[in-house]
Structure 1
Amino acid sequence: MLVAAALCPCPPLLVPRIAAGAAGELDALRAACADALSVLAASRPDRLLVVGPVAGAGAVRHGEGARGGFDGFGVPVNVRLARVGQAESARTTDDGPALPASLAVGAWLLENAAWAAAPVSGLAIGEESGTEECLALGESLRVPEERLAVLALGDGSTTRTVKAPGYLDESAAPWDSAVAKALADADTEGLAALDPARARALGCAGRAPWQVLSGAARGTHLTGSLLYEEAPYGVGYFVAAWS
Structure 2
Amino acid sequence: MITRAAVVPHPPLLVPELVAGAAAETEPVRAATLAAAGKLPGPWIAVAVDACGPSTVVPPLSGSFLGFGVDVAVSLGGDLPPDPRIPLPVLITAWLREHCAVEVSRVELVPPDLAPSECVSFGRQLAGESAGLLILGDGSTRHGIRSPGSNDERSGPFDEHVHSLLATADVDGLLGIDPELARELGAQGRAAWQVLAGVPGPWRGTGAEFFAPFGVGYHVALWERP
Matches within 5 A, 1:153-164: 153-164=136-147
Please tell me whether residue 52 in structure 1 is matched to residue 52 in structure 2: no
Equivalents in 1 of 2:71, 2:81: separation in Å?
20
Equivalents in 1 of 2:180, 2:104: separation in Å?
35
Please tell me whether residue 238 in structure 1 is matched to residue 219 in structure 2: yes
Please tell me whether residue 100 in structure 1 is matched to residue 87 in structure 2: yes
Equivalents in 1 of 2:90, 2:30: separation in Å?
16
Who is 2:188 aligned against? 205
Equivalents in 1 of 2:20, 2:95: separation in Å?
16
Query: Alignment partner of 1:242: what SS?
Result: strand
When residues 23 and 66 of structure 1 are mapped into structure 2, their CA distance, relative to the original with a 3 A threshold, is same
Mapped contact 1:69–1:101 kept (Cα < 8 A): no
Query: Alignment partner of 1:81: what SS?
Result: strand
User: In percent, how many aligned pairs have the same letter?
Assistant: 39
Equivalents in 1 of 2:58, 2:81: separation in Å?
6
Query: Alignment partner of 2:177: what SS?
Result: coil
- 1:142 counterpart letter in structure 2: A
Who is 2:159 aligned against? 176
- 1:8 counterpart letter in structure 2: V
Question: Deviation at 1:25?
Answer: 1.3
- 1:34 counterpart letter in structure 2: L
Mapped contact 1:186–1:223 kept (Cα < 8 A): yes
Query: Alignment partner of 1:198: what SS?
Result: helix
Equivalents in 1 of 2:188, 2:62: separation in Å?
22
Who is 1:13 aligned against? 13
Q: Identify the match of residue 80 of structure 1 among 72, 75, 79.
A: 75
Question: Deviation at 1:95?
Answer: 10
Who is 2:169 aligned against? 186
Taking structure 2 as the reference length, the TM-score comes to: 0.91
Q: Which runs of 5+ in 2 are unaligned?
A: none
Mapped contact 1:4–1:40 kept (Cα < 8 A): yes
When residues 98 and 121 of structure 1 are mapped into structure 2, their CA distance, relative to the original with a 3 A threshold, is farther
Moved more, 165-174 or 104-113: 104-113
Equivalents in 1 of 2:55, 2:67: separation in Å?
20
Equivalents in 1 of 2:51, 2:21: separation in Å?
29
The count of residues paired between Structure 1 and Structure 2 equals 224
Question: Deviation at 1:188?
Answer: 1.4
When residues 149 and 31 of structure 1 are mapped into structure 2, their CA distance, relative to the original with a 3 A threshold, is same
Q: Which runs of 5+ in 1 are unaligned?
A: none
When residues 3 and 168 of structure 1 are mapped into structure 2, their CA distance, relative to the original with a 3 A threshold, is same
Mapped contact 1:81–1:122 kept (Cα < 8 A): no
When residues 137 and 98 of structure 1 are mapped into structure 2, their CA distance, relative to the original with a 3 A threshold, is farther
Please tell me whether residue 120 in structure 1 is matched to residue 105 in structure 2: yes
Query: Alignment partner of 1:132: what SS?
Result: helix
Who is 1:195 aligned against? 178
Moved more, 232-241 or 30-39: 30-39
Who is 2:210 aligned against? 229
Equivalents in 1 of 2:84, 2:46: separation in Å?
15
Query: Alignment partner of 1:18: what SS?
Result: helix
Equivalents in 1 of 2:63, 2:54: separation in Å?
17
Mapped contact 2:63–2:82 kept (Cα < 8 A): no
Who is 1:66 aligned against? 61
Taking structure 1 as the reference length, the TM-score comes to: 0.85
